[in-house]
Chain A
Amino acid sequence: MRWGVVVFPGSNDDQDTLWAIEQVLGEPVVRLWHKDADLHGVDVVVLPGGFSYGDYLRCGAMARFSPIMDKVIEFAGRGGLVWGICNGFQVLCEAGLLPGALVRNRDRRFVCAMSYVRVEDNDTPFTRLCRRGEVLRIPIKHGEGCYVADATTLELLERNRQVLLRYVDANGRATSEANPNGSLDNIAGIVNESRNVFGLMPHPEHAVEKWMGSDDGLKFFQSVLAAQRNPGTTDRTAVAPGH
């Protein structure tokens, strides 16, 4: 399976995502240059973390108009897998591929820390190797990761099981203290209605080897790989929700 990682001006975690795919997952990956309106036949597009266009104006607002984004939107429309991490998530929201928006953290400060997220649904290509209710340790690092959407959108997200990840404490409880940025309903990651576009604020590419403090992030990469190889099955087992 061929992966593509988009490089916008100001992308920073592109190298780390490439490393995770190439060196840890062991899959072929290409860099996709933002000025290049061509996806070079990849099977999955990753929009990496960073500060595209310096996060000036609004995070992701300008990257969304890069020539490559027209192709990404088209690709997503055809059911192609598109995955946005942190700044990539912000770009996907700005592009209208995912609902809602990401705004300044509740306490106005950038936060870099290990976070716990609970997998809310595994019926997607991105989370299929996770169990429902499973708690993963994945670092976050962002200044504008507070997820907001209007009440109707939130209701739809819940109804369609589009919320894939929520910030929780070590015991899996989605408390206010466990919410690092003020995201509504502790939302850390969502998928679109057709379940082929995924955005999350935590950085799975920084949790792919034990020495990094966690390798839980690898599960998302492996899920995508498994989905590509064997589109049918999902692990339906769930762990008890930690409420």
Chain B
Amino acid sequence: MNWENMVRPVDEYHAIEHGLTPEEFERLCGALGRAPNLVELGVVSVMWSEHCSYKSSRVHLRKLPSTGPRVLQGPGENAGVIDIGDGLAVAFKIESHNHPSYVEPYQGAATGVGGILRDVFTMGARPIAILDSLRFGSFDHPRTRYLVDGVVAGIGGYGNCVGVPTVGGETYFDAGYNANILVNAFTLGVLPANRIFRARAAGVGNPVMYVGSKTGRDGIHGASLLASAEFRGEAEEKRPTVQVGDPFTEKLLLEACLELMEEDVIVAIQDMGAAGLTSSSVEMAARGHTGIWLDLDQVPTRARGMTPYEILLSESQERMLLVARAGCEDRVRDIFAKWDLEAVVVGQVTDDGLFRASYAGREVACLPIALLTDEAPVYERPARPPSDLDVRQQLRLDRIPQPQDWNEVLLRLLDSPNLASKAWIYRQYDCLVRGNTVVGPGSDAAVLRIKGTDKGLVLSVDCNSRYCLQDPYVGAVIAVAEAARNVVCAGGEPIGVTDCLNFGSPEKPEVMWQFVEAIQGIRDACLALQLPVVSGNVSFYNETEGHSIPPTPTIAMVGLLQPVRAFTTQWFKSEGDVIALLGQTREELGASEYLAVIHGQVAGVPPWIDLAVERKVQEVCLRAIREGLLASAHDVSEGGLAVALAECCVTHPEAPLGAVVELPASMRIDALLFGESQSRIVVSLKRRNWPRLRDLAQQLGVPCAMLGEVRGRRLVVHPWIDLECATLREVWANALPRRMEMAESRGEDRTQ
């Protein structure tokens, strides 16, 4: 299209093509007092998209607690920032890249990692850890293997190359994600508490500078189409809009930005992520209550003849926009040149509250900043529980037959991809680079040291979407509680949360209900555990042909551990140690992995949870770790007590240790062994420490029972389970490789 046509006024037809409703278009014309041109329509459509405007979620997100004595930066910036003492802070955020990863798994996942890294280092923080929360379809689905392979390779390909370790995460498989996988990437960085960089334009006349890769036609309308429109089974055709990542350039950009931040030349800085140049410039101006003018002729382009529309909406990766102090342009250019990167002045901060863009000496867009941001449409969409909820929540335990062979049940559960070892995945990630990894993938939480201090950080991501499907409120409460419990099991004190809220279409009242319930659950759990939610991301429209994903509010938890040497891992350490259980086991099997794997049912309500009890259990565990009482601590979650004990045996990195335990048969055996009652932690400790642990638990009113001891090379749960650790380990370790590599036996690789 001739670009000059782009400055002619458009009509409602174009607006609808761009995803605006007729009402939104009317509102736009009314506010402008005229019809926008095509360039302006493009800008408005991305800024008013669900992805950028949070129009369906905004009113609900306000309910989340986001303040606290440690909070230095809450939601609204590129990442949240929390004070960790001694002049240091951590910046972190989790973000989704779901649709792009389904369309093109390698690049989608890779650019997801790239985007979240930029969100963190724009704050002035050196990224030191990546975690991922992944959801795939069932292995029966023909595309699952391809998607797993591509997503894992993409995360590794990007993170490994850029030199930030991937230290943990979680992966689940469920048919509910067959056509909509989830790729949520979390990054944390460390920065000086008094030197946070924000994306807030200031200083009229200050230059706006463009740094990093050139602009191509990548992902035009990626944010608004891919992240806002539900799939209609046409993934293949959407391929051209997916961006390609260049981790090498990202690494240079990271080093150059951090070097530049050592000097006093940056006023504001923001990643050009979704909706590229448009959203980064508009949002910087909005936060600073300024205007911004862009000279599109100056923007470095990669492709011939790019139109102003394309330049403004391109989602080419590895680009940043910054406002420099006037007069410091050369210094910025020099530092970027050292890293073989270009830095160009592309505009100016203005005082007119307008977003203006020129091309070939002509103004091609002029829109009020406020109209694009604060005055963007906000919806309080109708919400109503699904009509079949009552039926789905019913579970008649008396109709669930109890199996005969408990050994077999345990082995089948350990072979479930959801419970099995994820080593096949995390072996493809560099978890060591930067030399801070004290506990890498494979325990309840990752632990990183902070060089030059005795502090450690403890990180975990968690969500059980089956619980959320059966009861989104309780599911969300459990996601927060369990993420915190994981952090506590490693010895960390939870200090902050970031959330990634993955749901179907908000235009469906049933989905909106799930969303509102989940928000309420996160809110209540965070208030009870005194945790601020400092950043996050909402991903709606995760649905294909009318089928929504199970609601998946992923919670990433950050904990502080001091001294770092006090960390704990989940596996048993030495023979003769006492094994004990903190917390109470109830007769409940609703929404459990046992019910799904062994009986093929998803039914009932999630396990009961009381946040006051949860808090006390966590307090006992944390105090016991701080007093040096515990050798290991492991959260009891999916698969229940028997699976937790098996994990304590087999996850030891070198030699598995056995256990001999006895459980009082106070309820159905399956509920006792495989029920998923919350607020439980399996610990092991030296026998001499037992009285002290028992007293601690008693003081806080937490049930604490001695189950047995670490002994031999078998797991014996008297009288139901008796298996060699080697057998358990083999089944657990091979479950994923077996499914992933069915087509390519290792033997074939060696024939040459």
A residues less than 8 Å from B163 (CB atoms): 10, 12-13, 50-51
A residues less than 8 Å from B750 (CB atoms): 106, 176, 182
Q: How far is the CA of A141 from the CA of B157 in the complex (A)?
A: 12
A residues less than 8 Å from B565 (CB atoms): 211
Instruction: For A13, give the chain B residue with the smallest CB separation.
Output: B433
Q: Which of A91-99, A111-119, A159-167 contacts B (4 or more CB under 8 A)?
A: A111-119
B residues less than 8 Å from A16 (CB atoms): 432-435
Judging by beta carbons under 8 Å apart, are A109 and B160 in contact?
no
Q: B621 within 8 Å of A by Cβ?
A: no
Q: A132 within 8 Å of B by Cβ?
A: no
Q: A139 within 8 Å of B by Cβ?
A: yes
Q: A53 within 8 Å of B by Cβ?
A: yes
| Interchain CB contact (< 8 A) of B428 among A110, A114, A211, A212 | A110
Q: How far is the CA of A112 from the CA of B431 in the complex (A)?
A: 7
How would residues 1 to 37 of chain A score, 1 for a CB under 8 Å from any chain B CB and 0 otherwise? 0000000011011011001000000000000000000
Judging by beta carbons under 8 Å apart, are B428 and A112 in contact?
yes
Q: A203 within 8 Å of B by Cβ?
A: yes
Judging by beta carbons under 8 Å apart, are A51 and B435 in contact?
no
A interface, how many residues as a size bin?
20 to 34
Judging by beta carbons under 8 Å apart, are A206 and B340 in contact?
no
How would residues 736 to 751 of chain B score, 1 for a CB under 8 Å from any chain A CB and 0 otherwise? 0000000000100110
On whether A9 and B339 interact (CB within 8 A), knowing A107-B746, A112-B427, the answer reads yes
Q: A205 within 8 Å of B by Cβ?
A: yes
A residues less than 8 Å from B157 (CB atoms): 110
How would residues 116 to 143 of chain A score, 1 for a CB under 8 Å from any chain B CB and 0 otherwise? 0000000000000000000000010101
On whether A213 and B340 interact (CB within 8 A), knowing A106-B750, A111-B428, the answer reads no
Residues of chain B in range 320-351 having any CB-CB distance to chain A below 8 Å: 339-340
Judging by beta carbons under 8 Å apart, are A9 and B340 in contact?
yes
- Counting chain A CB atoms within 10 Å of each CB, which of B162, B433, B749 scores highest? B433
Judging by beta carbons under 8 Å apart, are A141 and B160 in contact?
yes
Q: B142 within 8 Å of A by Cβ?
A: no
- Counting chain A CB atoms within 10 Å of each CB, which of B162, B252, B426, B432 scores highest? B432
Nearest Cβ on chain B to A189's Cβ, whole angstroms: 18
Q: How far is the CA of A203 from the CA of B153 in the complex (A)?
A: 21
Instruction: For B426, give the chain A residue with the smallest CB separation.
Output: A112
B residues less than 8 Å from A67 (CB atoms): none
Residues of chain B in range 106-149 having any CB-CB distance to chain A below 8 Å: none
Q: B7 within 8 Å of A by Cβ?
A: no
Instruction: For B433, give the chain A residue with the smallest CB separation.
Output: A12
Q: How far is the CA of A211 from the CA of B569 in the complex (A)?
A: 13
Nearest Cβ on chain A to B426's Cβ, whole angstroms: 8
Q: B674 within 8 Å of A by Cβ?
A: no
Judging by beta carbons under 8 Å apart, are B435 and A15 in contact?
yes
| Interchain CB contact (< 8 A) of A112 among B248, B429, B434 | B429
Q: B656 within 8 Å of A by Cβ?
A: no
How many residues of chain B get a CB closer than 8 Å to chain A's CBs?
Answer: 32
Instruction: For B157, give the chain A residue with the smallest CB separation.
Output: A110
B residues less than 8 Å from A107 (CB atoms): 746, 749
Nearest Cβ on chain B to A28's Cβ, whole angstroms: 19
Residues of chain B in range 143-169 having any CB-CB distance to chain A below 8 Å: 153, 156-157, 160-163
Judging by beta carbons under 8 Å apart, are B160 and A206 in contact?
no
On whether A205 and B435 interact (CB within 8 A), knowing A54-B248, A112-B427, the answer reads yes
Judging by beta carbons under 8 Å apart, are B248 and A109 in contact?
no
Instruction: For B149, give the chain A residue with the smallest CB separation.
Output: A109
B residues less than 8 Å from A211 (CB atoms): 438, 565
Residues of chain B in range 402-440 having any CB-CB distance to chain A below 8 Å: 426-435, 438
How would residues 241 to 254 of chain B score, 1 for a CB under 8 Å from any chain A CB and 0 otherwise? 00000111101100
Q: A55 within 8 Å of B by Cβ?
A: yes
How would residues 190 to 212 of chain A score, 1 for a CB under 8 Å from any chain B CB and 0 otherwise? 00000000000001011000011
Nearest Cβ on chain A to B645's Cβ, whole angstroms: 24
B residues less than 8 Å from A182 (CB atoms): 749-750
Instruction: For B749, give the chain A residue with the smallest CB separation.
Output: A106
On whether A54 and B435 interact (CB within 8 A), knowing A106-B749, A107-B746, the answer reads no
Judging by beta carbons under 8 Å apart, are B248 and A51 in contact?
yes
Nearest Cβ on chain A to B470's Cβ, whole angstroms: 36
Q: How far is the CA of A112 from the CA of B432 in the complex (A)?
A: 8
A residues less than 8 Å from B434 (CB atoms): 12, 15-16
Q: How far is the CA of A19 from the CA of B449 in the complex (A)?
A: 14
Instruction: For B340, give the chain A residue with the smallest CB separation.
Output: A9
Q: B719 within 8 Å of A by Cβ?
A: no
Instruction: For B744, give the chain A residue with the smallest CB separation.
Output: A107
Judging by beta carbons under 8 Å apart, are B160 and A51 in contact?
yes
Q: How far is the CA of A113 from the CA of B430 in the complex (A)?
A: 9
Instruction: For A56, give the chain B residue with the smallest CB separation.
Output: B248
B residues less than 8 Å from A9 (CB atoms): 248, 251-252, 339-340
Q: How far is the CA of A106 from the CA of B745 in the complex (A)?
A: 12
Q: B361 within 8 Å of A by Cβ?
A: no
Judging by beta carbons under 8 Å apart, are A54 and B427 in contact?
no
Q: How far is the CA of A15 from the CA of B248 in the complex (A)?
A: 17
Nearest Cβ on chain A to B13's Cβ, whole angstroms: 44
Judging by beta carbons under 8 Å apart, are A111 and B427 in contact?
yes
How would residues 38 to 73 of chain A score, 1 for a CB under 8 Å from any chain B CB and 0 otherwise? 000000000001110111100000000000000000
On whether A109 and B153 interact (CB within 8 A), knowing A50-B163, A182-B749, A213-B653, the answer reads yes
Nearest Cβ on chain A to B683's Cβ, whole angstroms: 22
Nearest Cβ on chain A to B189's Cβ, whole angstroms: 15
A-B contact pairs, 5 of them (CB 8 A): A12-B162, A19-B435, A53-B248, A107-B746, A112-B428
Q: Supply 5 further A-B pairs (C-beta < 8 A) apart from A9-B340, A110-B428, A112-B430.
A: A9-B251, A12-B433, A54-B247, A106-B750, A182-B750
What residues make up the interface of A, taking CB atoms closer than 8 Å to B? 9-10, 12-13, 15-16, 19, 49-51, 53-56, 106-107, 109-114, 139, 141, 143, 176, 182, 203, 205-206, 211-213
Closest 5 CB pairs of A and B: A54-B248, A12-B163, A16-B435, A51-B161, A141-B430
